[in-house]
Amino acid sequence: MTTPAPIADPIISVRGLTAGYGDVVLLENVGFDVRRGEVFVILGGSGSGKSTLLKHMIGLLPPQSGSVAIDGDDIIAAEGDARRAILRKIGVMYQSGALFGSMTLAENVRLPLEEYTDLTSDEIGLIARMKLSLAGASRGRFERLGKIIALA
Amino acid sequence: MAAVAISDATDGRRILALSGRLEATTIRGVWDESRRAIAAAPDQRVVVDAADVDYCDGAGIALLVDLIQQRKAGDVQVANLHPAFETLLQQFDAQALGHDLDPPAPRRPAVEEIGVITAGMGEDLRQQIVFIGETTAALVYALLHPSTIRWKDVWRICERVGADALPIVALISFLLGVILAFQSAIPMRKFGAEIFVADLIGLAMLRELGPLMTAILLAGRSGAAFAAEIGTMTVNQEVDALTTMGLDPVRFLVTPRIIAALLMTPLLTLFADLISLLGGAMTLQSFSIPFVTFVHEVEGIVNFSDFMAGFVKSFVFAILIAGIGCLRGLQTTAGASAVGDAATRAVVSGIILLVVVDGVFAVLYFVLDI
């Protein structure tokens, strides 16, 4: 028997989100909370707006109205460094993996560490080797590495 | 196999008894025969008896739907169909299936069409202005903070834009010098003025053709490559991934490419100038003008401002080629042909922009008396 997780403040809070493309409104007045530790599933038919909703939740698209708060900070209203700080709290595993095809797997792992930390090249190298070993060497390594980077 | 047995009942109804497996590969003959049987009895109600149908795929259901459609509603009935297949048949409204599979795109009135095209151009212009603003901001930031530039990427792109382009630039420039010299030397020989071909080649190549031809070559080669690379990254959601990592795609993707183009295009232009002069000099040797005389003549006519007139343009061309290539890549939409379209648009709009800007330079130099 598992103990239910205590109710926590929402880590993601969507309020009154209305979004679409051009004149087409795909999502209207959508609102929900996702709490820390909660597994939250968005189900819907093809073209129902699941990807559109996710793109708005991670700040890739601006909504027509409404707000999306990540850990209490509105990702839509934030700009510049404040926005980057919010984005750094988000890990996204894309359907296509979204690793950078022009880089080696090791460079894919090193990139966020080089950009966001003041670790030395040796330290970054060690972390990269650890993550690469987690991804394994067989088929599917690319996808697994995408998950590892998204979760890190 | 599928079969149909046709009979007339005592109550006047025509019975089409279908049997066997109604599949796409087996129903061709049955379909024709059933249609003919229905057409041959226009005054009789028809019952399609499916009691002996063992199997029915989508094509079999289509056959039943088609037979029902042969008459007005209710005149053709399907009976004794297995419940599993009946469920399939009920999925389709026979009357709603008459639509054209590939309807022609609705034609807009001319005024609306002009409006849509204008709106599209306006949107494209808006995106270009936004892009120019973002790129300028990123370049200024890079200049003020050189350590933030991804130099490793810059050198890699420099190699592809510059070193890898040397053979094609050399070939085209050499041939351009040869052709220009040959075509002008023949008529000028009639007046004993072959020596002035050197002046023509020197001025034309250094002021105009050297920078322009190099830029056009790079637009076709590197501009398209930039659009395809970034377009593929867009399609593969890599640009989205950059954004969600908090990294600015313009700083990460556009800035290194523009810096690389800015470093390489002027060098390639210099190289093209020299090679085209070499081509011209070699051609004029066959017109009895020695190499030394050619060089002396070019030195006499081409001054520093002529050289700089062409050289300055190459920097502007570099920004245009790289900028338009990156913009088209970032504008890439979804679909199998999207990356190809982005590369095509990069080349077409890049070359148009180059020629327009070259024209602007020509007017500017005329006004400034350069």
Helices B210-218/B166-189 angle, 10° precision: 140
Quote the Cα angle for B354-B359-B360, to 5°. Answer: 100
Beta carbons of A55 and B240 less than 8 Å apart: yes
3-state helix, strand, coil in chain A (%, to 5): 35, 20, 45
pLDDT in tens, B40-82: 888 888 999 999 999 888 888 888 888 888 887 778 888 999 9
Residue A109 CA to residue A151 CA, distance in Å, equals 12
The closest alpha carbon to B206, from B281, B298, B80, belongs to B298
Residue B18 CA to residue B26 CA, distance in Å, equals 12
Q: What ipTM score was computed for the predicted complex, to two decimals? A: 0.70
Quote the Cα angle for B174-B180-B183, to 5°. Answer: 135
Beta carbons of B245 and A115 less than 8 Å apart: yes
Of B236, B246, B247, nearest to A98 by CB-CB distance is: B236
pLDDT at A140: 66
Q: Amino acid identity of B53? A: V
Residue B71 CA to residue B2 CA, distance in Å, equals 23
Write down the mean pLDDT value for chain B: 90
Task: Give phi and psi for B7, each to the nearest 5.
Answer: -150, 165
pLDDT at A98: 62
Residue B51 CA to residue B96 CA, distance in Å, equals 27
Q: Name, in order, each residue with C-beta under 8 angstroms of B290's C-beta and a sequence gap of 6 or more.
A: none
Q: Which residue of A has its CA nearest to B234?
A: A98
Which of A134-148, B192-206, B243-257 shows the lowest mean pLDDT across its residues?
Answer: A134-148
Look at chain B and count its residues: 370
Using the Cβ of B333 and the Cβ atoms of chain A, whether some distance falls under 8 Å is answered with no
Which letter, b or e, does each residue of B211-244 get, where b requires 16 or more Cβ atoms within 10 Å of its Cβ?
bbbbbbbbbbbbbbbbbbbbbbbbbbbbbbbbbb
How buried is residue B339: exposed, middle or buried, by Cβ count under 10 Å (0-12/13-18/19+)?
Answer: buried
CB B55 within 8 A of CB B1: no
Residue B175 CA to residue B167 CA, distance in Å, equals 12
Query: DSSP character for A23?
Result: T
Query: Could you identify the residue written with the tokens 């919010």?
Result: A86
Residue A95 CA to residue A21 CA, distance in Å, equals 21
Residue A12 CA to residue A39 CA, distance in Å, equals 12
Beta carbons of A94 and B237 less than 8 Å apart: yes
Query: DSSP character for B107?
Result: P
Mutation choice for B interface testing from A111, A118, A151 by most B CBs within 10 A: A111
For strand B2-8 and strand B14-22, is the pairing parallel, antiparallel, or unpaired?
A: antiparallel
Q: Name, in order, each residue with C-beta under 8 angstroms of B132's C-beta and a sequence gap of 6 or more.
A: B323
pLDDT at B336: 77
CB A95 within 8 A of CB A80: no
With a threshold of 0.90, does the pTM exceed it? no
Calculate what percentage of chain B has a pLDDT beyond 90: 53
CB atoms within 10 A of CB B154: 19
Of A85, A92, A102, nearest to B241 by CB-CB distance is: A92
Calculate what percentage of chain A has a pLDDT beyond 70: 78
- Tell whether the torsion through CA atoms of B237, B238, B243 and B249 is positive or negative: negative
Write down the mean pLDDT value for chain A: 79
The closest alpha carbon to B119, from B66, B243, A46, B111, belongs to B111
Using the Cβ of B238 and the Cβ atoms of chain A, whether some distance falls under 8 Å is answered with yes
Residue B300 CA to residue B278 CA, distance in Å, equals 17
The average pLDDT across A18-32 equals: 87
3-state helix, strand, coil in chain B (%, to 5): 70, 10, 20
pLDDT exceeds 80 at position A129: no
Q: Which two tokens stand for residue B197?
A: 């071909």
The average pLDDT across A85-113 equals: 76
Q: Which residue of A has its CA nearest to B247?
A: A84
For strand A73-74 and strand A65-70, is the pairing parallel, antiparallel, or unpaired?
A: antiparallel
The average pLDDT across B224-250 equals: 88
